[in-house]
Chain A
Amino acid sequence: MKGVGSMAVITVKKLSKVFKVKVKEKGLKGSLKSIIKPKYNIIKAVKNISFSVDKGEIIAFIGPNGAGKSTSIKMMTGILFPDNGTIDILGLDPSKDRKRLAYSIGCVFGQKEQLWTHLTPYDNFKFFGAIYDIPESIVEKKIEELRELFELEEFINTPVRNLSLGQRIRCEIVASLIHEPKILFLDEPTIGLDPVVKEKIRTLIKRMNKEYKTTVVLTSHDISDIEKLCKRVIIVNKGQIVLDDTMDNLKYHYLNKKIIDVKMKEKVNLDDVEGINILKDKDYNLKLEVDLKKKTISDAINLLNIDNIIDINISNIPLEEIISQIYKDGDK
């Protein structure tokens, strides 16, 4: 477990949450039956998870759909009550000190809007300033500062309902920063955005983390978000933490594989060579996956014969593949 120390701003210990879900059989008969004799499924959404996060970290809290990441975040923000375990956020227990904690954390749920759509972003920010009891003069200054940082100049006085999704998400993030939270929970902030806007949001999150030292807990299904923003990743599957490691370790050591794309002068036969998996073999182009536990890169290049190579590109396994593999391993 990373991040344990005096600087920890989030400490979660043995956290669990169970949901009781009514099971309905098919058709009208099934519905009637479920009224007379209801059956329930017990879903263990979060099972005994423990971790901590240090001040200023940007961590990815990821997992497949239904893994328990949103439930965990909702317990950390005081939306849901845990069944078991303890949560300490900045020295507060979210289930007991929800209101006090709200002054120190910010939340952006990509799927749920907080902004009033008929109001302009400016009026919304003033509303959130009042919600967090910030004096008007300070709110004005903060809006000015965030307007520059998040480049809102063009649309700060346009009603939210007329903004593009990307502009709206930027405003959602600004609204959650009005009270200068020490921790920001971002639940899929780039959902539905185009690549250019996604990149912009990522840059802004990085800038915000650098400027204000805000700790960020990010969930996203977009691996690029995680790769570009986070130095540490916690992977949750079926309610349990299956990996808690640095991004570097995850990338370079977890699967220990490299991809070699090579253009040859003459064909080479590498069938049945241990540690080398041929992904593509077309004309004089080869794509190989090298298992570094069994073969080194130089061994692989020697097998190809260095004089026989016209062009070569060695890359890491895409992070997306590594994470999918971890998800699949967790399913077994």
Chain B
Amino acid sequence: MLMEVKSQIKATHLSIKYALQRELLNKFTFISNILFMIINNGCFIVQWIVLYSLKQNIGGYSFRQILLLWGLAAMTYGISRFFFKEAFNLSDIINSGKLDNYLIQPKNVLISCITSSVEISALGDILYGLIMLILYGLSVKNVILFLTCGILGSIVLTSISIIFSSLSFWFGRTEMVANTVDSLMTNFATYPEGIFKGIIKIMFYTCLPLGITTYIPVKLISNFSLPDLIFIIFGTFIFTSLAFIIFYFGLKRYSSTNLMNARI
């Protein structure tokens, strides 16, 4: 078991390394994608500066907490898109029969598939997340908690995409559903929790688990509490397990295709 995990990590590391190598072939695109992503994210903070000049507290958040919220949202988004990019194209991969290559290898199909390419602009999100953390306040505790929550949150984001994309095994083209859920997760993650009420708030702790990816982490970094940390870890475990169970259950219905394709 331990050997298997070690071997999977080695294969995943190589896969990500080679995928990154592919993106580095065009240095200008590589650097400009990262820079423009940071600038793009930075523009949104301007509107919050304006809003906070009018009001000191929005949805229960101070301006520093907004910086933290944006940092966490960018970090979870960045890590998930950089390391698990193909989880966000999974519906298309299933429908076009591109799982064949991973199924004939002695490795975990889902992990091999989702880590087979990287999104370079996501490095811009990761850097932006770190800049926001610096602006919020650097400390050993903050860095550890920020990175832990960023990694766990990205795993949850990826799991949500896998769950909705795996519906393609049953219903064909479900990328619209997966993309919509993905967009909702990304967009809502940049607003303070306090402005949402009722059913939307319930959704944040069920089908759109922003509670786990951003809201509880903001609370946790602002004011550490062990139960919150345990809740985040437990929630991540549940969503990850669900993603694996649904994907592997659906895989039995995989129908492949004879379409020509290449690993480019």
* Minimum CB distance partner of A185 in chain B: B104
The main secondary structure of chain A at its interface with chain B is mixed
Q: Please judge, given known A-B contacts A79-B256, A114-B263, A116-B263, whether A98 and B21 are in contact too, CB under 8 Å.
A: no
- B105 at interface by CB-CB < 8 Å: yes
> Interface residues of B toward A: which range?
20 to 34
Residues A114 and B101 in contact, CB atoms below 8 Å apart: yes
A96-114 interface (Cβ within 8 A of B): 98-100, 102-103, 105, 107, 109, 111-114
Residues B103 and A119 in contact, CB atoms below 8 Å apart: no
Binds B, one of A130-138, A202-210, A261-269: A130-138
Chain B residues whose CB sits within 8 angstroms of the CB of A107 once the complex forms: 104
**Contact among A80, A102, A111, A116 for B105, CB-based, below 8 A:** A102
Complex Cα spacing A102 to B103, Å: 8
- B50 at interface by CB-CB < 8 Å: no
Q: Please judge, given known A-B contacts A99-B106, A118-B25, A130-B10, whether A111 and B258 are in contact too, CB under 8 Å.
A: yes
Residues A70 and B258 in contact, CB atoms below 8 Å apart: yes
B1-32 interface (Cβ within 8 A of A): 7, 10-11, 14-15, 18, 21-22, 25
Residues B106 and A119 in contact, CB atoms below 8 Å apart: no
Chain A: residues with Cβ within 8 Å of the partner, total of 33
- A117 at interface by CB-CB < 8 Å: yes
Q: How far is the CB of B17 from chain A (nearest CB, A)?
A: 9
Chain A residues whose CB sits within 8 angstroms of the CB of B10 once the complex forms: 130
Complex Cα spacing A119 to B15, Å: 12
**Contact among B11, B99, B261 for A113, CB-based, below 8 A:** B261
B interface residues, Cβ below 8 angstroms from A: 7, 10-11, 14-15, 18, 21-22, 25, 99-101, 103-107, 172, 251-256, 258-264
A interface residues, Cβ below 8 angstroms from B: 19, 22, 70, 74, 77-81, 98-100, 102-103, 105, 107, 109, 111-119, 123, 127, 130-133, 161
